[in-house]
Chains A and B, each alone.
Chain A
Amino acid sequence: MTALLEVRDLRVAFGAAAAVDGVSFTVAPGETLGLVGESGCGKSTTALALMRLLHGAVTGGSAHFDGRDLLALDRPAMRGVRGAEIAMIFQDPGTALHPLIRVGEQVTEAIRAHQAVSAAVARARALDLFRQVGIATPELRLRAYPHQLSGGMCQRVMIAAAIACSPRLLLADEPTTALDVTVQAQILELLQTISRATGMAVILITHDLGVVAGMADRVAVMYAGRIVEMAPTAALFAAPAHPYTRGLLGAVPRLDQGWDDELPIIPGSVATAIAASGCRFAPRCPRADRSCRATPPLAPVAEGHLAACWHSG
């Protein structure tokens, strides 16, 4: 199967600081890829770089989407991709929607940006989309302003606008982080339903391993601007190969743990990684030794399972 998106050696730098440092991955049509890592590891930057929405950043590498390199397209061509073929939703729907524009118009303008349809047709489509994303009394909601809707409802509006032009890839940047736990599950379920029904691929960016476990076909774990492990979701959870992934999984609190037991953590912080040469996780890694002074390549440890660690073999 040919990949829908093939990212090769993506690099993003703000000034001298490299936020993304040589990231490569592929996404197949209809596939959901989870992009996991802690704050500041470069997940969101990767997604924004693919959409070319980073202003003032230097990007390198390539990202072939359906045969075209997104990073090399001219501005009008890229504008034609945004919203139409690749759509994006964001973490906080409360700030991602324009506060002074009715939500219906925020959906119809996404349609009319790419398709020459009348206002009435666009409105009818928006109404359909609102029903599709599970907004009750959609006729009324079209005329509402974002502040009149709940956070979960706003995220449904964002999703409606994102899928308005039937994109083939959706970049979902922490789509449930700002929402209540009960609403989180509904939104994830909605994304999964849409993805299955339309064959839309999803890159799901999250720091929440629980989210990828339920949603993603494959998972890529990022640390300090690099992918350190990539595997089918079940394989990753069953046999994590990279010490960082193991640390992340170990740090998930468990219900059967005693109240007084200390929560397992990964010592140190991601800030120490920037200066490190060789393996960036080495300063925090329990297994680090002399060999970690050289950068480990992302190498196969099992069928479809890659890890960047000298000790994972």
Chain B
Amino acid sequence: MLRYLGGRIGQSLLLLLGVSVIGFALMHLAPGGPLAVYTLNPTVTAQDIARVKHEFGLDQPVHVQYVKWAFGLLTGNWGYSFFGGRPVGGIVLERLPATLELMGSSLALALIIGIASGIVAAVRRNTVIDYATTTLAMLALSLPTFWFGLLGIYVFAQTLGWLPAGGMASTGGGGVPDRLRHLLLPMLVLGFVLVAQWSRYTRSAMLEILSQDYIRTAEAKGLRPMRVLLGHGLRAALVPLVTLAGLQLPLLVGGALVTETVFSWPGMGLLFVNALGTRDYPVLMAILMVGALVVVVGNLLADIAVAVIDPRIRLTHV
């Protein structure tokens, strides 16, 4: 088990290194740059631009910039924003709780509704309930997140006026109910596609498991239907479902980016989109690395969880 863990952590570190190299390279390969906006400004001279470039270290070769940045990252100095000059670590970390709140609540929603509806669809397969969940799930999977976001704002914020159109709280704060009202729509929009995935995945996993011999054994013992379904069926389905949770994290991170933009949710996603517009390299790289870390750690945890649930996995790796 320890050797397995060590190997997986080593893999994760290599992966993070790869993400940082590719991310850094792509960012510097993209046309334009943080100073591109000033080239059209008649009051800024070429000398001014060259001077600022030198101050930011942007006149150095890309690999030198990368090594400096990476060394800074490891020693806790994440650099300073090109715009405003604040330390990047602070900027990113103050946005992290908002993003985690959105992602966490959406994931929780997806787990509860997705798994429950998937089980029901599997047990009542080829009935109206099954077809209805399938249709809803296909709808959610085939339309983009931002479209649902805009639809939600149009219906619930603009037309009905039930919920706020964006932001995390009303001006001047507001209590928990106010924050929940702000959370509801973004959470549903981000969660919708996740619910659909969980529902489909749970349905197919349960369909396969319910035809297994050991389910018949459980029934033959006279266990209650709920115990057969959850204690034996869902227990076996946990292995593929936990794996899915790990695989779904990139989608969650990407979805959070879109959802935060649509709802002006003050999280890392919105920060990323804004920083992308101004090519604020240090901020972009920091968010990229935090996002990658979330995905890599999430997958690592999923792998460990699978090994805990399924005793057969441990044997093959020890």
Contacts and interface: CB of A to CB of B under 8 A. Distances in A.
Nearest to A94: B213
A53 B222 contact: no
Nearest to B211: A55
Contacts of A98: 214, 217-218, 232, 235-236
A96 to B, nearest CB: 5
Given A96-B216, A145-B311, A82 B235 contact: no
A53 B232 contact: no
Nearest to B311: A145
B220 interface: yes
A112 to B, nearest CB: 9
B208 interface: no
Given A80-B222, A109-B223, A101 B213 contact: no
A145 B232 contact: no
A82 B219 contact: yes
Interface string B227-243: 10001100110010000
B217 A96 contact: yes
Interface string A61-98: 00000000000000000011111100110101001111
A109 B221 contact: yes
B310 interface: yes
B219 A158 contact: no
Interface string B176-189: 00000000000000
A99 B227 CA distance: 16
Contacts of A185: none
A200 interface: no
Nearest to B218: A98
B158 interface: no
Contact of A90 (B216, B227, B235, B239): B216
A63 to B, nearest CB: 16
Contacts of B220: 51, 53, 82-83, 87-88
B200 to A, nearest CB: 23
A161 interface: yes
A98 B310 CA distance: 11
A113 interface: yes
A263 to B, nearest CB: 32
A95 B311 contact: no
A110 B216 CA distance: 13
Contacts of A114: 222
Most interface-central of A53, A95, A98, A147 (chain B CB within 10 A) = A98
| Interface size bracket, B side | 20 to 34
Contact of A92 (B213, B232, B310): B213
B3 interface: no
A275 interface: no
Most interface-central of B227, B311, B315 (chain A CB within 10 A) = B311
A51 B312 CA distance: 31
Contacts of B236: 98-100
B311 A100 contact: yes
Contacts of A83: 220-223
A81 B311 contact: no
A84 B213 CA distance: 20
Interface in A139-159: 145, 147-148, 158
B45 interface: no
B309 interface: yes
Contacts of A161: 217, 221
A53 B215 CA distance: 10
A95 B212 contact: yes
Contacts of A51: 220
Nearest to B233: A98
A88 B221 CA distance: 8
Interface of B: 212-214, 216-224, 227, 231-232, 235-236, 239, 309-312, 315
30 contacts: A51-B220, A53-B219, A53-B220, A82-B222, A83-B223, A84-B222, A87-B220, A87-B221, A90-B213, A95-B212, A96-B216, A96-B217, A97-B217, A98-B236, A99-B214, A99-B312, A100-B235, A100-B239, A100-B310, A109-B223, A110-B223, A113-B223, A113-B224, A114-B222, A145-B311, A147-B311, A147-B312, A147-B315, A161-B217, A161-B221
Interface of A: 51, 53, 79-84, 87-88, 90, 92, 95-101, 109-110, 113-114, 145, 147-148, 158, 161
Given A90-B217, A98-B232, A147-B315, 16 more contacts: A79-B222, A79-B224, A81-B222, A82-B219, A95-B213, A96-B214, A97-B214, A98-B235, A98-B236, A100-B235, A100-B239, A100-B309, A109-B227, A113-B224, A113-B227, A161-B221
